[in-house]
Amino acid sequence: MAKNPFRALCLPIFAALCLAACRPLFNPQPAADPALAATQTAQRALLERIAATLTAIPSITPGGQAAQAELPRPLSTPLPAPAGSAQAAVTAADGMALVYVPAGEFIMGSTKYDRDLETNEVPQRTVYLDAFWISRTQVTNAMFARCVSAGACQYSASDKTNPRYQDPAYADHPVVYVSWQAAESYCEWSGGRLPTAAEWEKAARGVQGQKYPWGDAAPSVETVNTNNTVGDTTPVGQYPAGASPYGALDMGGNVREWVWDWYDPYYYQYAPDRNPAGPAIGEKKVLKGSSFSDTYRYARPANRLAHDPASPGVNRGFRCAYP
């Protein structure tokens, strides 16, 4: 019987098609990873929010630039730049140790690739600041009490609300339950003012834009009091391993800190690149840093929070700047 050449040609093709159709039955594709899918979805959502933030147009004055806040004149003679290797000074009013931050540029804000960022931290940019001094630690209960005794400050919290304020055992803990105005009044009494958000951030992270005051390594119980690892405030300066490049302490934890600026989530889009001091008006003031109860992601100096300036709280303190 003669062979059918058409059959001989078609059989291999038919067999190949059957094999291709059946391969998924023998080699099933791995199931999708739910955690990976959730992460990818969250990342896409974050990038969409960043894009929306960067395209939002703030209100600009007719002159072409948004109005900027004016800083108060220092009430004392400006401190001189340190001579030689000296990088520290002490204020006469309260005995606060200061660290020096020289003039120059630094990287402010976050890139969109920082998985911990908030959209009010973008775009990341280079900012120039004049030189200034800043408190080495947060202002303590004992220091604030000096200002009250001098008649220049008022402490609004009752003994029932904060029994620790006058407790000698907590004299070296950061003062809390202070409003923005109470913090600014203290800084003026001591010869300075509250730092701007830019000054605070440069003092905390240096010029290269490192993620945390101590560098880019993840936070730990050796570097910062946050994430409820202690569950309370600690005496200031207890985490020398978490010091900033300039020697400032506790800039990643213990309490959140009031700064000079009014809050605008879009401020980085129109802020000047030289000595920015925040918008001229606003409803909330910026807070920098993390408190003892905040999660580790808030220990980043780029983080910006906002709060009613008239509202004190258990996790809000401050430090001062001296231009």
pLDDT of 86 over the 90 cut: no
pLDDT of 234 over the 80 cut: yes
Q: Is residue 224 part of a domain?
A: yes
What is the rounded average pLDDT of the residues 139-158?
97
Q: Which amino acid is at 175?
A: V
pLDDT at 57: 45
Q: Which residues pair with 68 in a beta bridge?
A: 279
Worst-scoring range by mean pLDDT, 41-50, 51-60, 61-70, 221-230? 51-60
Q: Give pLDDT tens digits for 98-120.
A: 999 999 999 999 998 999 999 99
Q: Is residue 49 part of a domain?
A: no
pLDDT of 4 over the 70 cut: no
Q: For residues 10 and 248, which has the higher predicted lDDT (pLDDT)?
A: 248
Q: For residues 43 and 163, which has the higher predicted lDDT (pLDDT)?
A: 163
Q: Is residue 170 part of a domain?
A: yes
Q: Which amino acid is at 242?
A: G
Q: Give pLDDT tens digits for 153-181.
A: 999 899 999 999 999 999 999 999 999 99
**pLDDT bracket for residue 295 (50, 70, 90):** very high
What is the rounded average pLDDT of the residues 264-275?
96
**pLDDT bracket for residue 290 (50, 70, 90):** very high
b/e per residue 161-184 (b: at least 16 CB within 10 A) = ebebbeeeebebbbbbbbbbebbb
b/e per residue 64-96 (b: at least 16 CB within 10 A) = eebebeebeebeeeebeebeeeeeebebebbeb
**pLDDT bracket for residue 41 (50, 70, 90):** confident
3-class secondary-structure state, position 268? helix
Q: Is residue 51 part of a domain?
A: no
pLDDT at 67: 73
**Whole-number mean pLDDT of the chain?**
86
Q: Is residue 55 part of a domain?
A: no
* Residue tagged 């220049």 (tokens): 152
Task: Provide the 10 A C-beta neighbour count for residue 137.
Answer: 22
pLDDT of 17 over the 60 cut: no
What is the rounded average pLDDT of the residues 298-317?
96
pLDDT at 39: 58
**Cα Rg of the chain (Å, integer):** 28
Q: Is residue 73 part of a domain?
A: no
| Burial of 285 per CB tally in 10 Å (0-12, 13-18, 19+) | buried
Plot region of 247 (φ>0 → left; ψ -120 to 50 → alpha; else → beta): left
Q: Tell me which residue range forms the domain holding 234.
A: 88-322
Worst-scoring range by mean pLDDT, 80-84, 228-232, 249-253? 80-84
CB-side neighbour CA atoms (13 Å) of 317:
30
pLDDT of 79 over the 80 cut: no
What is the rounded average pLDDT of the residues 180-188?
97
pLDDT at 61: 41
Q: Is residue 5 part of a domain?
A: no
Q: Is residue 81 part of a domain?
A: no
pLDDT at 182: 97
Task: Supply the pTM of this predicted model.
Answer: 0.81
Q: What is the dihedral of CA 210, 215, 218, 219, to 10 degrees?
A: -110
Q: Provide the percentage of residues in the chain whose pLDDT is more than 90.
A: 71
| Bond preceding residue 123 cis, omega within 30 of 0 | yes
How far is 103 from 312, CA to CA, in rounded Å? 32
pLDDT at 54: 54
Q: For residues 317 and 25, which has the higher predicted lDDT (pLDDT)?
A: 317
If one counts the domains in the chain, the total is 1
Q: For residues 10 and 46, which has the higher predicted lDDT (pLDDT)?
A: 46
The tokens for 171 are 């004299």
Q: Taking a C-beta distance cutoff of 8 angstroms, is the pair 98, 87 a contact?
A: no
Q: Give pLDDT tens digits for 201-219.
A: 999 999 999 999 999 999 9
pLDDT of 10 over the 90 cut: no
Worst-scoring range by mean pLDDT, 37-41, 182-186, 259-263? 37-41
Q: What is the CATH number of the domain that holds 153?
A: 3.90.1580.10
How far is 320 from 100, CA to CA, in rounded Å? 12
